[in-house]
Every structure is written in structure tokens, then in C-alpha cells.
Amino acid sequence: MQSILITGGAGFIGSHVVRLFVKQYPDCRIVNLDKLTYAGNLENLRDIEDAPNYVFEKGDIVDAEAMFALFEKYQFDGVIHLAAESHVDRSIANPMEFIHTNLVGTVNLLNAARHFWKDISGKRFYHISTDEVYGSLGDEGLFTETTAYDPRSPYSAAKASSDHFVRAWHHTYGLPVVISNCSNNYGPNQFPEKLLPLFINNIINSKPLPVYGKGENVRDWLYVIDHARAIDLIYHKGQIGETYNIGGHNEWKNIDLIKVLCKIMDQKLSREAGTSEKLITYVKDRAGHDMRYAIDASKIQEELGWKPSLQFEEGLSKTIDWYLANKAWMDNVTSGEYQNYYTEQYEKR
């Protein structure tokens, strides 16, 4: 039985990837490694936790000794590396945590793979990254796989650094690697510090919708299950040493997206039209806030046959329906540390 390590598998994107691999590859052992920080939640995987090919291991990728022990125990054939600190606001408040997890943790995994993979045939180290490493676009143009790196936040700088180390281990030591850089993900199970689940939750509870600046920043939105499908394709069919950009072909100004969200929420909550939009509150812009991200995903479409399955409005409606149907999940994850952190951050504005 082959063994694949998926790091960060209790998180938002990771849980969807774990579920897909557990169901799609019953003859492969899927080991989910997660530190279970505020963003990791095993409730995301209740439906597959008893699957015979699924194993959960609690651990921290910053612990090099623990990573070596894990590789020794399971003799992994592949790694899909998603574990990361990922929220820009948190990186501005505490950059060292992002450096430790995103950079040092990645190098620990690379070193473990290099040590145990004496024979690299059939092995693969797949590192999942972000479009934020490319910096900010103007009104025109798209990020391609050859766009120069220009990170603007501690988060994106730490991810950019980890990308460089993955490539360095490939070129220096011959480690078989692939990398992907994705646009903004949305969908079920996303921790509500990110825009869509945060605003959905605030609308449900008639709380303010804090919009940075004038809300004119542009993002490309990718449905998380489509992202998981892309990860599956890249892991199994992507070319070693290559990078693939994954985007949703869905550019939206933040304020336009929020207004659409408000309209749909009013309909689903049977509220008078315009009720949710009145909750919009403009706040001081984030430090170093990139103006526009947009992905050119033609390479993965042409080489691997991947393309998004949902139009954005359909994906947004499905996402809202999930949060409305899973209020207990939302209440659980918005208690405790999260609530304290965001109360403090909002008061600072």
C-alpha cells in the first residue's frame, strides 16, 4: 500500500484534499498531519474519519525530529504540503510565526523526504503555494508561472521563501518536486477570518461588514473543490520540476463581491432587499494591501485538462447554503481564540 502524507489536512483546503484522496484512492494510505491550531478542525473530516485507508497524526512541521519519525513510521511515497499560516492580517501582527511554520517547517519536510527517499522513483513532493508571492498587478495582465516574485506581506514573503527552497532542493539534491500557486479559495469549511465566511457570519448576526479602504481591491476566486481536483491532477500527472497556476477565472472587486453576497443573503434569509448592504462599514486599509491578483491558468488547462467546474455565482450560492446549514460548526469555530483575536483587531481599526 502506497502512503501519501497530506500536511494541514484538517484545515480548509487540506480537508477537501484529504477527503478526495481517501475516497478516490482506497488502496492508498492517506496520512493527515495537522497541528490543530485555530484553523485546523477535525470536524471537517467526520465523514471519512473511520475510512480504512485514513490515518490522522497530530504534529508540528516545525519539529524536525517529529517529521523524521513520521517518515520513518510510514515510509511515504509522496507528500502534499498544505500546512501553513495563511492569514495576512495575522502575519502583520506576528511575522515570526509565519517564518517558522511556512519556511522552517517546509525545509524540515524537504530534509525528511531527501533523507528517506534514497530511491526517488515514484516519489513526489508537492508544495501548494499562493498567487500572493507574485505581488500586485495593475489594471491589466495576469500572473503566469514565469511572473517574477514580488511578495508584499510577511505571509507572502514566507510563502515565496518556501517556494524557493522547494525549487532549490530539486535543483541541488534532485528531489522530485512540483509546485502550484492558487488564487483565493472559497467554499465549505473555511475558517471565518477570511472574507466570505466572515461576512456570511456577520450578516447572519447583523454585525458590521468591515471593508478595507474603498473595497476596490480585485481578487480571483476559486471554488475549493475545484482546487482539490486540480491538486489531484498535478500530484498524479504534473511534470516534475514544474509550477502550475490554479485560478478560477473569476475576478471581482471586493466591494462588488460583497454587494452580490449581501443580495443573495437577503434572499436566503428572507430579509428586505438592501438590509445586509447597510451593514457595510469602510475601515482603514490593510498595510501593504495588494491591489489586484489575477491568475492565468492556461498551462494546467492545456497540459492536464483542468478547468473550473462552477460559475462563481453558483459556487457562491452553494457556499452560503453550506454555512446556513452548518450554523453549529460556525458557532464552534468562532468561539474562544478567534473571537478574542478579531474583537481586538476590529477595535484597533
Give the CA count within 13 Å in the CB-facing half-sphere of 31.
20
Q: Where do runs of H (alpha helix) occur along the chain? A: 12-24, 64-74, 88-93, 95-98, 105-116, 154-173, 195-204, 224-237, 254-268, 298-304, 312-325, 327-333, 337-348
CA distance 198 to 40: 16
**Catalytic annotation present for 266:** no
Residues found in the chain: 349
**Looking at 155, 186, 223, 235, which residue is catalytic?**
155
Question: How far is Cα 187 from Cα 44, in angstroms, rounded to an integer?
Answer: 12
In the residue annotation, 344 being an active-site residue is answered as: no
- Please give the full DSSP string across 126-146, using - where no structure is assigned: EEEEEGGGG----SS--B-TT
- Which residue is catalytic, options 34, 132, 163, 232? 132
Of the residues 34, 131, 193, 232, only one is catalytic, namely 131
**Can you tell me the distance from the alpha carbon of 301 to that of 296, in angstroms, rounded to the nearest whole number?**
10
How is residue 345 written as a grid cell? 483587531
132 is catalytic: yes
Q: Is 82 exposed, middle or buried (0-12, 13-18, 19+ CB in 10 A)?
A: buried
Nearest to 234, CA basis, from 303, 149, 142: 303
**Per-residue cell: 245:** 497556476
Can you tell me whether residue 281 is helix, strand or coil? strand
Cα distance between residue 34 and residue 9, in whole Å: 6
User: Measured between alpha carbons, how far apart are the two ends of the chain, in Å?
Assistant: 53
CA angle 318, 133, 330 (to 5 degrees): 30
Q: Which amino acid is at 304?
A: L
Positions marked active-site? 131-132, 155
